Amino acid sequence: MKYKTLLLGENNAIIDDFFFQMTDDFEIMTTSNRNDDIINHLEVFEPDILIYCINADSKKDFNRVYFLKEKLRKKGIFFAVIGAKDICKEFEKVAFDTADIMLETPLQSTTIVQKIRAFVAKKKSEEMAREEEERVAKAKEQEEQESTSEAKKKHILVIDDDPMMLKLVNEQLHERYNVATAISGKLALTFLEKKHTDLILLDYEMPIMNGAEVLKKLRENTDTKDIPVVFLTGVSNRSTIQEVLAMKPQGYLLKPIDSENLFKVIMDVLGKK
């Protein structure tokens, strides 16, 4: 992989060495010492690393380069300085802690390539590892939030011998509530031996064990006697409604169930718990 390298400074010998000896290893571009030129090249070229090739005549530009550090950090661009040992020390005094890596000449071009490539590869690897850690942490936090949110949802058990009815009610409720379904009273009672529910939507007309019989068994059991029950019935004649109300459920809904009425009854009942 060729790292994109932007060269800055007045040490023409080092810059020429990059172009003559290192183009196989780096995608290279130069910029002037003018702030506007540097910023434009950073925006357009988007280098992996900016290399400041300094010499004895560069001291006047040290302060000018110092302002770049924050911009480079924000863009994730690394900053290297190459020059003679004494001039590198002068740069460090003026622009303390600006360079990510400092290479003191004389150095063979192969050594420069090795050091820069190793540095950039290491930093990018650390950056990727950090981003992965942040991604995992964020995903874990989101999962915990969703789990907490899910745990806070009220639980509703729907009992009906009609599979289509169970599917319809589940689709209407699952986003707001944790929903379980049972196709018979017997299965529902078995479910309640191990699981808790906050509300039961109970079909009144079912074969083998009808809604009234299911409610009677619920009220006889100390573990389930206080669970609120809302009857579902497809029969709207007066006598049936009176039979339903005589069982003293917390509410009843006529089939086909209107979604707005369903939520209203559920919220009224659960709000009273």
Domain-wise residue ranges, the chain: 3-134, 153-271
Q: Is the pLDDT of residue 90 over 90?
A: no
Q: Is the pLDDT of residue 136 over 60?
A: yes
- Confidence class for position 272, pLDDT limits 50, 70, 90: low
Say what the pLDDT of residue 147 is: 63
Query: What does the pLDDT average to over 164-190?
Result: 94
Sheet holding 229-233, edge to edge: 178-182, 155-159, 199-203, 229-233, 251-254
Percent residues over pLDDT 90 in the chain: 50
Beta carbons of 254 and 237 less than 8 angstroms apart: no
Q: Is the pLDDT of residue 103 over 60?
A: yes
Q: Is the pLDDT of residue 273 over 70?
A: no
CATH fold of 153-271: Rossmann fold (3.40.50)
Phi, psi of 134 (to 5 degrees): -65, -40
- Confidence class for position 238, pLDDT limits 50, 70, 90: confident
Whether CATH 1.20.120.1770 fits 3-134:
no
Phi, psi of 211 (to 5 degrees): -60, -40
What type of residue is 225?
A: K
Of 138, 132, 184, 129, residue with least CA distance to 157:
184
Query: What does the pLDDT average to over 137-166?
Result: 83
pLDDT one-digit tens code per residue, 20-44: 999 999 999 999 888 889 889 999 9
Beta carbons of 4 and 26 less than 8 angstroms apart: yes
Say what the pLDDT of residue 146 is: 64
**Average confidence score pLDDT of the chain:** 88
The yes-or-no answer to whether 3-134 and 153-271 have a common fold is yes
Which alpha helices (H) appear in the chain, and where do they start and end? Answer: 12-21, 35-45, 62-66, 68-75, 85-94, 109-152, 163-173, 185-194, 211-220, 238-246, 259-271
Beta carbons of 102 and 92 less than 8 angstroms apart: yes
Separation between Cα atoms, residue 146 and residue 133, nearest integer Å: 20
Percent residues over pLDDT 70 in the chain: 93
Among 129-133, 186-190, 198-202, 238-242, the range scoring the smallest mean pLDDT is 238-242
pLDDT one-digit tens code per residue, 109-128: 899 999 999 999 898 888 88
Say what the pLDDT of residue 218 is: 94
Of 57, 72, 59, residue with least CA distance to 13:
57
Query: What does the pLDDT average to over 181-198?
Result: 94
